[in-house]
Amino acid sequence: MTTGKVESSPKNAYSKWQGKTLSSRAGGDSTEESKRPSVESPPALELKVLPCHLEYAFLGEDSTLPVVISSTLSEEEKKRLLCVLRLYKSAIAWRLSDIQGISHAYCTHRILMEDEYKLVVQPQRRLNPNMQEVVKKEVLKLMDAGLIYPISDSSWVSPTQVVPKKGGMTVIMNEKNELIPSRTVTGWRVCIDYRKLNDATWKDHFPLPFIDQMLERLAGQQFYCFLDGFSRYFQIPIAPED
């Protein structure tokens, strides 16, 4: 597989990318600013409105490096929590360039193919101008962080699709003056249609534990901890030969 070089300017890189295939992290270039960790050069982030049981706290100076904590904590609990978070703030990612990924020695993903499979190169589906702009911004963001880079002769090509991020329910009036429940669109998510590739790969028959067993372990517990991986699919390295 031949890899194309990513230009130093993200906009130039995007124009070079059009018509080519993008591959995941393998040492793509990025700007000097994006290479600096957020704890040294805090990014300007747009804070979203939070529900009443959550609030923002800041680990850096001048209201930088925001984190989301529970608003029901006492002042002493908040103080102790923020003390720990500030101590280990270098382990938190505020932007894609902060992601270091998982060491190859710990985990490497393998793409195992079926014995008889055919290489599939699919054309890109037509996207409207709004969706094209969404894809462009996402591609530039990932290329600037060095997580993807363009290649010119991939054996597999899967099309890009843009789907809406749906929020809560709302009520709208149709042309017949009827009230119809509908979901609000809060944004867009860029996805890749890997169905053809998935058909040619080995299947893991037991990828997740049974839901009822998980609920039994959680029942009766007072505290629940959730770990949400930030762009987690870019953190697991893939074997170079795959």
Confidence band, pLDDT 50/70/90 cuts, at residue 203: confident
Residue 83 lies in a domain: no
Q: Is 94 exposed, middle or buried (0-12, 13-18, 19+ CB in 10 A)?
A: buried
Q: Which of 194, 28, 24, 229 is nearest to 109 (CA)?
A: 24
Q: Is residue 100 part of a domain?
A: yes
Structural domain range at position 214: 10-38+93-234
Predicted pLDDT at 23:
60
Q: Is position 44 within any domain?
A: no
| 128 domain residue, yes or no | yes
For residue 24, being part of any structural domain is answered with yes
Predicted confidence at residue 10, as pLDDT, reads 44
Percent of the chain with pLDDT over 90: 23
Ramachandran class of 19: left when φ > 0, alpha when ψ lies in -120 to 50, beta otherwise: left
> Mean of the per-residue pLDDT values for the chain?
79
Residue 5's pLDDT is what?
34
Best mean pLDDT range from 1-10, 97-106, 125-134, 183-192: 125-134
Amino acid code (one letter) for 66? P
236 against 112, higher pLDDT: 112
Q: pLDDT tens digits for 164-201? A: 887 777 788 888 888 888 877 788 889 999 999 989 99
In a domain, 124, yes or no: yes
Q: Is 59 part of a structural domain of the chain?
A: no
User: Which tens digit of pLDDT belongs to each residue from 24-46?
Assistant: 554 444 455 556 788 888 888 88
The model's pTM is 0.61
Q: Is residue 111, in this structure, part of any structural domain at all? A: yes
The three-state (H, E, C) secondary structure of the chain, written as one string: CCECCCCCCHHHHHHHHCCCEEEECCCCCCCHHHHCCCCCCCCCCCCCCCCCCEEEEECCCCCCCEEEEECCCCHHHHHHHHHHHHHCHHHCCCCHHHCCCCCCCCCCECCCECCCCCCCECCCCCCCHHHHHHHHHHHHHHHHCCCEEEECCCCCECCEEEEEEEEEEEEEECCCCCEEEEEEEEEEEEEECCHHHHHCECCCCCCCCCHHHHHHHHCCCCCCCCCCCCCHHHCCCECCCC
Is residue 85 scored above 90 in pLDDT? yes
Structural domain total, the chain = 1
Tell me the pLDDT tens digit for each residue of 116-170. Answer: 888 999 999 899 999 999 999 989 888 887 778 888 888 889 999 998 887 777 7
Confidence of residue 67 (pLDDT cuts 50, 70, 90): very high
